[in-house]
Amino acid sequence: MAVSTPLRDCQAWKDAGLPLSTPSNEACKLFDATLTQYVTWTNDAALGGIEGCLAKLKAADPTFAMGHAIANGLVLIGTGSSVRLDRELALAVRNMVEMSKAQPLTPRERLHVSAVEAFAKGNFPGACELWEQILRDHPTDMLALKFSHDAYFYLGYQEQMRDSAARVYPFWTPGVPLSSYVKGIYSFGLMETNLYDQAEKLAKEALSVTPTDAWSVHTVAHIHEMKAEVKAGLDFMQHSEAHWKGSDMLACHNYWHWALYLIEKGEYEAALTIYDDHILPSLRASGAMLDVVDSCSMLYRLQMEGVSVGERWRDVLPVTREHSRDHILLFNDAHFLMASLGARDAQTTQELLTTLQEASESPGENCQHRLARDVGLPLCQALVEADRGNPDRVLELLLPIRYRIVQIGGSNAQRDVFSQLLIHAALQCTSGPHRNLARSLLMERDALKPNSPLTERLMRKAAAVHLLQ
């Protein structure tokens, strides 16, 4: 992704109504370069990559409050580090807050600092409220829009994610830098609230302006997936690959969507080829949480389909094991657990469950820890019981929380792995009521995603089980 417009200096940010409290034009330009890469899902070599830009930004003005806000915010929003376990990050957040108190910042900048501090404490809803305050007065503040969008995603706040973008969308006219990417952000919120036609129209408008917008490609792929349009989805991914595969932060996830179409069709070897050629190499290179959960989710789905994944869990485990005590996102925890179970690492499995229990009992404002008791722990225990071959127990754990799993975050497509787990468990049960439950769940799934090959396969299996028993 080459930058098409000059990076904004102090005056340009002021002219945009978003003044930055620094005398350094270089710091302002590097802030813009970092923000641009975050929004476009790239580490642009022409800009020096995100880490390179942040290092130069801090050198250009070590006391630049918004420089510290974006640097700390990006680490936190990546959900791979927490102030609870990472002393360096905790110190960086504390220094940011103290530094901001000693400077004459604008109200907008102070809200940014407070929002990052709230997010660091695990108070995601509180952080979103602060970013929304910014957007009410400064609707073209991209950092507030993107940070809130990601936080809503982690919270499972689908309507809020959509409406946050809807409120500011009219202000993002074509002359505003990064305006086409706002279409992609808004389209994703529309898609997650099942407004597929509106979402697809907006995403394709974005792609007509910026064909390399990997997020809009992802949204269109997502729409085809949720509508079980397998052929259309595969065709779209193949035809657009040349554009989106250059997005080093999202290419792996788009390949993951491609692989899900192949799993839908029952083309397991082709899906494993995508895993081996694209998803696993990306995981090894980045260690990014999105690549981690994609790897775990894909292998788990294949296992539920009865496919042997060989020793692939062993490749994932060294990455997930390092995060077994994090408990930043329950969504991540469940996927880490898939890896330790798949790799038969009982020690890591127990460590994750024990420390998650401890986190659920800890005081404070961390929203994920509060949710762990009622949703996170039953979900994780269900994964353990499935691994032990106790399908009836899986149903006892999952049925009461199935409509709350959205609260752990992730997209509809990502959380579908848990819906599939519920169905597979019901199919394996021996009692009559649970066999009938499998049939009911599949009818429900068919109504939501008609013509799904995966659903049809499971329906045939359910019919065979019913006849045999």
For residue range 219-239, list pLDDT tens digits in order: 999 999 999 999 999 999 999
Across the chain, mean pLDDT equals 95
Average pLDDT over residues 298-308: 97
- Judge contact between 394 and 385, C-beta under 8 A: yes
Paired tokens of 34: 């970092």
- Is the pLDDT reported for residue 469 higher than 70? no
Helix (H, G, I), strand (E, B) or coil at 306: coil
> CB burial class (10 A; 0-12, 13-18, 19+) of residue 433?
exposed
- Is the pLDDT reported for residue 394 higher than 60? yes
Rounded percentage of the chain residues whose pLDDT exceeds 70: 98
Q: Model's pTM, two decimal places?
A: 0.96
Residue 165 belongs to a domain: yes
Helix (H, G, I), strand (E, B) or coil at 228: coil
Residue 439 belongs to a domain: no
Residue 190 belongs to a domain: no
Instruction: State the pLDDT at residue 468.
Output: 47
**Tally of domains in the chain:** 1
* Nearest alpha-carbon partner for 380 in 353, 403, 350, 359: 353
b/e map of 376-387 (b: 16 or more CB within 10 Å)?
bbbbbbbbbbbb
- Is the pLDDT reported for residue 403 higher than 70? yes
The DSSP symbol for 7 reads P
Residue 390 belongs to a domain: no
- Judge contact between 330 and 408, C-beta under 8 A: yes
- Is the pLDDT reported for residue 417 higher than 50? yes
Residue 99 belongs to a domain: yes
Check the CA dihedral 200-202-205-210 and report its sign: negative
- Is the pLDDT reported for residue 451 higher than 60? yes
Instruction: State the pLDDT at residue 430.
Output: 80
How far CA 423 is from CA of 268, 385, 451, in Å, comes to 20, 14, 17
- Is the pLDDT reported for residue 290 higher than 90? yes
- Is the pLDDT reported for residue 361 higher than 60? yes
Residues 6+ apart with CB under 8 A from 201: none
Residue 111, domain extent: 1-173
Instruction: State the pLDDT at residue 1.
Output: 41
What is the distance between the alpha carbons of residues 333 and 335, in angstroms, rounded to a whole number? 5
Residue 193 belongs to a domain: no
Instruction: State the pLDDT at residue 2.
Output: 44
For the beta carbon of residue 443, count every other beta carbon within 10 angstroms: 12
Residue 19 belongs to a domain: yes
Instruction: State the pLDDT at residue 4.
Output: 55
Residue 212 belongs to a domain: no
Paired tokens of 306: 């009865």
Average pLDDT over residues 154-158: 98
- Is the pLDDT reported for residue 358 higher than 60? yes
